[in-house]
Each structure stands twice: as C-alpha cells, then as structure tokens.
Structure 1
Amino acid sequence: MGERAVFNTSIALQAFEASGRAVAPVLSSLKRVKWPARMEPLEFNGRTIYLSGDHNPQGVESLKALLHHFDYEKLWLVVGIGKNKDVDTMLSLFANLPRVELFLTLTPFRPLKIEDYGKWLESARGADAEPIEALSRAIELAGPTDLVVVSGSLYLVGDLRKKICG
C-alpha cells in the first residue's frame, strides 16, 4: 500500500471515529483488504509481475515511493497511457525511475497510437501495440532478480488482469 493510500485510510478512520463508531472492527478488517491493480502481484508465464494502475503524475510518484520497498536489479516497466493524459510528464517520471527499462504499449481506452509516443520510442527498450505481447517480451528479457511492473492506466492493468486471471 502506498503512502497516499495510508494517508487516505487514516483520514477515513478519523472520520469514522468522529462519527462515534468503534474503530477496532474496521482496523482488523483492513488486514484483509486487497486492492486489485495497486501493485498487485500476479503470476504470469512463470514469473511474478505487478499491476499498478498509476494513471497520472501523482500516481507515478506513489509508484516511485513504493519501489523503495523492493529489492531488484532492473525495473522492466510496461507502460500504456491514454491520450487524455499528460503523456510527456508521466513518461519523464517513468523514465527517471531507478534502473528502468521501458516497454511502451496501448491502453484499451482512449489509446495513443504507438507512434504518438514520439521521442520516447527512441529510449524505450521496446514497443508493442498488444499489451500482453509487450508484457511477455519484458518477462523474456528480465533477469531473475529484476522486477516487472505494468502501469500507466487503470484500463490497461484491468484488461491485463482479466487476461491473466481469466
């Protein structure tokens, strides 16, 4: 869980407590909360991957903070961003993550065309219009101590989650 999620949860708990309700049952239930597509680990092609639906610059900053809790050699980041987003800012933030290898792909909702990634195509390790193919290629290239993450769009990670989980 990222810092923003902890902050938001603490505010919700304060509001709950201010309403006069018992907080203890809520606190115990938080241990069982699962947030799909929020640095969610999944198995795919014999590898643990993470789905993280960071779809704006603040989300990418949260991902950056979360990555400090992971021990990895390289970060293989499969990214698809919708055309209504701040693409350059987001890709700049993604590209500046430590030891990152970018794979660019499309998101199923309001997608950019691959060529719309422009200058980012030159520095990306690869690009594929089909997200599952981009993910598969990143997994093929990733070493055993590397981290594989899909990010950039909740639609992208949701679509991949359906394909992976069935």
Structure 2
Amino acid sequence: PEEAIARGLREARHPGRLERFLVEGVEVYLDGAHNPPAAQALAREFAAYHLVFGAFPRKDVRGVLAHFLPKARSVRYTRAGEGALGEELGTPFFEEPWEALCHAVAAAQEDGLPVLATGSLYLVGALRGRLLGGLPAKEP
C-alpha cells in the first residue's frame, strides 16, 4: 500500500498546472498561474520561454508579469475570456488565444524554447480544449 501511495503521488497530474503538450515539435506548457506567488513558482521552472499571457482586471497583473517577463524571449498577449483584459495588456495583442499560441509556436520553432501560456485558468481552459481536440497549431 505505501508503494501504491508513493506511485500515485509521483504520477499525479493536475490539468492546467504545468501541463505539457507537444505541438509541431514545440513543448507547450499550460498553467493557470494568476497571482504573484504562483507566477514566481512557475517562472522558476524555466530558463527562458515564449510567453502567451491573458488575465482579468481583478488580478494583480503587474505583479504576475514581474515574474514572467524577465525570462520571456517574446510575449503575446491575448484575451483570457469574457470580461478579461484586452489590448491594454500590451502588444502584440491577439483577440483569440489560439492565434496567440500559433504565433508563439512559430517563434519557438526557430529557437527551440518552450511556449508558456499562463495568467488565467480561463485562458488555459480555452487552449487546452483546442490542444486535446488534436487540432494543428497552424490556423487553417
């Protein structure tokens, strides 16, 4: 029984928390980190990445980005969902999260860095649904 518990803890997965996908040869990580402590912990996991970021106005967006931006080779801002921040987040801004992810994947194919999509569980949910649907990263 103790080995089964240990194995269960080792193999436990939480959707939307440092969840890894492989998209056209690029590692894509989804994580719903939406507050500074979570952002700090998540950013520590990577040396560098291409960032896809969306957030809601009630969150400490500046505090979260303070942890993500130093390691971001590039940033694509997107709308995390209904009522989420839009173009005021920054540029380049993509209305559709999938489009932002597609652009980040294309950049990552050039330098081999992973893509990190984060800032909101709503953003992660939208992207996760597309990724689990087996859709290609390139828009048709």
User: Which TM class, normalised by the smaller chain length?
Assistant: 0.7 to 0.9
Letter in 1 for 2:16: A
Matched, 1:127 2:81: no
Residue 40 in 1 paired to residue 13 in 2?
no
Deviation at 1:54, TM superposition (A): 0.8
Q: 2:75 aligns with which of 93, 102, 105?
A: 102
C-alpha distance in 2, partners of 1:109/1:24? 45
- Structure with larger Rg: 1
Match of 1:59 among 35, 38, 46: 38
- Per the TM alignment, residue 67 of structure 1 is displaced from its structure 2 partner at its CA by 1.4
C-alpha distance in 2 between matches for 1:164 and 1:38: 15
CA contact (8 A) 1:48 1:148 kept: yes
CA distance in 1, matches of 2:67, 2:41: 11
| 2:86–2:93 contact (8 Å) kept in structure 1 | no
CA contact (8 A) 1:79 1:105 kept: yes
Q: Give distance in 1, aligned partners of 2:18 and 2:113.
A: 15
Superposition RMSD on alpha carbons, in Å? 1.9
**1:137 alignment counterpart:** 103
> Could you tell me the TM-score, scaled by structure 2's length?
0.83
Which segments of structure 1 move beyond 3 Å, counting only runs of 4 or more? 22-25
Instruction: State the partner residue of 1:49.
Output: 28
Once residues 30 and 57 of structure 2 are traced to their aligned partners in structure 1, the CA distance between those partners, rounded to angstroms, is 20
Asked which structure has the greater RCO (Cα within 8 Å, sep 6+), the reply is 2
- Which structure 1 residue ranges, 5 or more long, are not aligned? 1-21, 69-73
Contact 2:56 2:120 in 1 (8 A): yes
TM-score by structure 1 length? 0.71
Selected match of 2:113 from 146, 149, 153: 146
